[in-house]
Amino acid sequence: EGHSVPSIEGLTIHSTNEKSKFPGCYPSLNPVDIYREHIAEAVGKAAGIDPQLVYSKIAWTNSLDKGDLTLPVPALQIKGKKPNDLCAELAEKIPESDLIQKPVAFGTHLQLFFKPGPLTKSVISQILANKTTYGTNGNLGLRDPSDPSKGKKKLIVEFSSPNIAKPFHAGHLRSTIIGGFLANLYTVTGWDVIKMNYLGDWGKQYGLLANGFKRYGSEEALLKDPINHLFDVYVKINQDVGAQEGPIKELKEKIKAKKEKNEDATAEEAELEKLVDASEDENARRYFKSMEEGDPDALALWKRFRELSIEKYKQTYARLNIDFDVYSGESQVSPESLKSAYETMEKSGVTEKSEGAVIVDFPKHKAKKLGKAIVIRKDGTPLYLTRDIGAIVERHNKYQFDKMIYVVASQQDLHLAQLFKITELMGYKEIADKCQHINFGMVRGMSTRKGTVKFLDDILRDVADKMHEVMKKNEAKYEQVEDPLKTSDTLGITAVMVQDMSGKRINGYDFNLDAMTSFEGDTGPYLQYAHARLCSIIRKSEINLERLSDADFSLLTESHAIDLARYLAQWPDVVVNTAKTLEPTTVLTYLFRMTHMLSSSYDILRIVGREEQLATARMALYESARQVLYNGMKLLGLNPVNRM
């Protein structure tokens, strides 16, 4: 179960051993760091304070008109002067330099603008040199940034986690998209990332499924399409359960009525016992019991279902650029882990007996809002929550993680809050503190055009079909696309993912096929188009890409060119900021701002018919923009297309 060296297909992660006197400052990986160093020194000198105190206070701006960086003067905590006055005074004292313009005092904020010439040169050169590394920073994930030999911090990100033989619903889709993104994000910031899928693969329903398979299953269908076949079997056997429930319920009522009238119900009771004994529900219970007891035959069938399902999941995940390091699951929590959890919970006084079951009464442990939870049923069996309790400790023992993220829908907020609280109460506060629930809102109305959705593959196929229709509308272009079906598939996946990642995670959204597949607005197809257009410009020009770094960047004088370069300089900082927000929209918002700037530049920064020196400088800018867009899309888990 070892995991591969953390990497993202298409991106390279670099670290550096250059040392700055400022923490987290790596000019060879982030061009803005040069400016931060410079500004910290300049402000420190003007204010008569240690530049170290300035460095960490330098902040990002929301828009380019407010500067490239800003310094909130009150944050410097210099006493004796009004912040407004101090700000004006600093602006007055700090001279223009070779890197920055003279600062602008704006209220209590010092606005800092980079000088265009040196910026375009350093940014474009760095992007052309670092390519797929630009924006990554392997130093951020080090346990001790001053001593790489102490190794990387280790993260487990648990995500997707569907339930075998049940639909892969919108919650699983979001968990997959967001989890895949988080895994990438931590990887490019230098963490050692383990991607874990915690399958719903254990419980009475797998007894039901096994029995259902004996009745309705087909070996051939199982091999051909395990996920859909097992789901069909599950639906059928559940119908049987439903059909048997009626008579059982009727009989129970009859017995109750008779007893109330003090009549003899022995005959009915015998009949009830027979009915229950022969029911699929009881059969399932018995089958699952034999699984729990380790019966090899019962386990063999279940294991095949599990393995075939995983094989199929793997193919679907591959379409989303995701591969898991570990397929864990409810079934994989060891009996020893459960036993030890029971004992620890009892010893630490977390649990108590209640009507034959074992429960946690949270209000008694200063956690009023968490209510009560059962951890061992009357019949002695564990629950969903119990397995998570066993698993959290088991994983910590096995992986010694520095952090663990659970990417699960906000419907399970209570579940995870209970899990973390119990872990803490058991005496494992240090484990609980390392864990984080990354939650998200619901997708409304996710269904295929033909009806309700069952599986991710159906959704992806549907969106790809729609994308194919959209592409066909532009005949001339359509003709030029090499493999239209493959392209429409990639575009469809991009459409779904970008729609999912556009808002804040906690907000739900409507699954809107027309909106997500449109080329207008901030959509996936728009991003892909922006990338393909850049590729096309580069293809069509006769400029040798190898020579771009020798271009004369001083020819990039138009405000469009300069502003585009200013955006491109921000990318490494956007990655750092995203590592704080853990929101895919932080990346997307940036990519859309940058590509909008790009779109409005094409008319002004033309290449065709321009003199070679100028054309080469502009091409270097475009190639840099393409590289940043590519790196950003890859970080999100998208596959940038070169033609569409």
Nearest Cα residue to 568 out of 615, 523, 632, 524: 632
Number of residues interacting with ligand ARG: please give it, by CB under 6 A: 8
Residues 561 and 524 sit within 8 Å (Cβ to Cβ) = no
The label of the residue with tokens 């648990």 reads 158
Q: Could you tell me which stretch among 155-163, 256-264, 294-302, 520-528 binds ligand ARG (CB under 6 A)?
A: 155-163
- Exposed e or buried b per residue across 422-457, where buried means at least 16 C-beta atoms within 10 angstroms of its C-beta: bbbbbebeebbebbebbbbbbbeebebeeeebbbbb
Does 406 sit near ligand ARG (CB under 6 A)? yes
CA-CA distance, 308 to 195, in Å (whole number)?
Answer: 20
126 lines the binding site for ligand ARG (CB under 6 A): no
Nearest of 67, 40, 62 to residue 51 by alpha carbon: 40
Strand partners, 195: 157
Q: Is 328 in the site for ligand ARG (CB under 6 A)?
A: no
- Minimum CB distance to ligand ARG, residue 486 (Å): 31
Sequence-distant (6+) residues with CB within 8 A of 243 are: none
Nearer to ligand ARG, 94 or 435 (CB): 435
Residues 544, 577: contact at Cβ < 8 Å? no
Angle subtended at Cα 254 by Cα 248 and Cα 260, rounded to the nearest 5 degrees:
135
The region of 57-65, 156-164, 235-243, 315-323 touching ligand ARG under the rule CB under 6 A is 156-164
Out of 6, 31, 200, 524, name the contact with ligand ARG by CB under 6 A: 200
Instruction: Give the residue with the Cβ less far from ligand ARG, 165 or 301.
Output: 165
Closest CA to 419 of 403, 436, 407: 436
Nearer to ligand ARG, 453 or 467 (CB): 453
Nearer to ligand ARG, 54 or 370 (CB): 370
| Least distance CB 59 / ligand ARG (angstroms) | 36
Rounded distance, CA 423 to CA 442, Å? 27
Of 198, 305, 553, 592, the residue at the interface with ligand ARG (CB under 6 A) is 198
Determine, following the binding rule CB under 6 A, whether residue 382 of this chain makes contact with ligand ARG.
no
Separation in Å, CA 287 to CA 204, 206, 233 = 8, 8, 16
Query: In this structure, what token pair is assigned to residue 122?
Result: 């350093």
161, 184, 321, 332: residue in contact with ligand ARG (rule CB under 6 A): 161
Separation of alpha carbons 316 and 160, rounded Å: 12
How many Cα atoms sit within 13 Å of 35 on the Cβ side? 30
Q: Which stretch binds ligand ARG (CB under 6 A): 13-21, 121-129, 157-165, 628-636?
A: 157-165
CA–CA dist 100, 116 (Å, integer):
9
Q: What is the smallest separation between the CB atom of 395 and ligand ARG, expressed in angstroms?
A: 10
Residues 6+ apart with CB under 8 A from 359: 351, 352, 353, 372, 373, 374, 375
Among 408, 446, 501, 607, binds ligand ARG (CB under 6 A): 408
Tokens of 516: 């997500």
What's the closest the beta carbon of residue 112 comes to ligand ARG, in angstroms? 45
CA 16, CA 12: separation in Å to the nearest integer?
A: 13
Residue nearer to ligand ARG on the CB measure, 205 or 624: 205
257: left (phi over 0), alpha (psi -120 to 50) or beta: alpha
Nearer to ligand ARG, 71 or 208 (CB): 208
Q: Which is nearer to ligand ARG, 173 or 210 (CB)?
A: 173
Position among 125, 163, 332, 423 found at the interface with ligand ARG (CB under 6 A): 163
CB of 377 to ligand ARG, least distance (A): 18
Least distance (Å) between residue 330 CB and ligand ARG? 8
Using CB atoms, what's the residue nearest to ligand ARG?
200
Catalytic annotation, residues: 166, 169, 172
Residue 582: CB minimum distance to ligand ARG, A: 17
Nearer to ligand ARG, 209 or 408 (CB): 408
Q: Is 388 in the site for ligand ARG (CB under 6 A)?
A: yes
Residue 199 beta carbon to ligand ARG: minimum distance, rounded to whole angstroms: 7
Strands 154-158 and 403-407, how do they pair? parallel
Beta-carbon contacts of residue 214 (< 8 Å; ≥ 6 apart): none
Residues making contact with ligand ARG (CB under 6 A):
158, 161, 163, 198, 200, 388, 406, 408
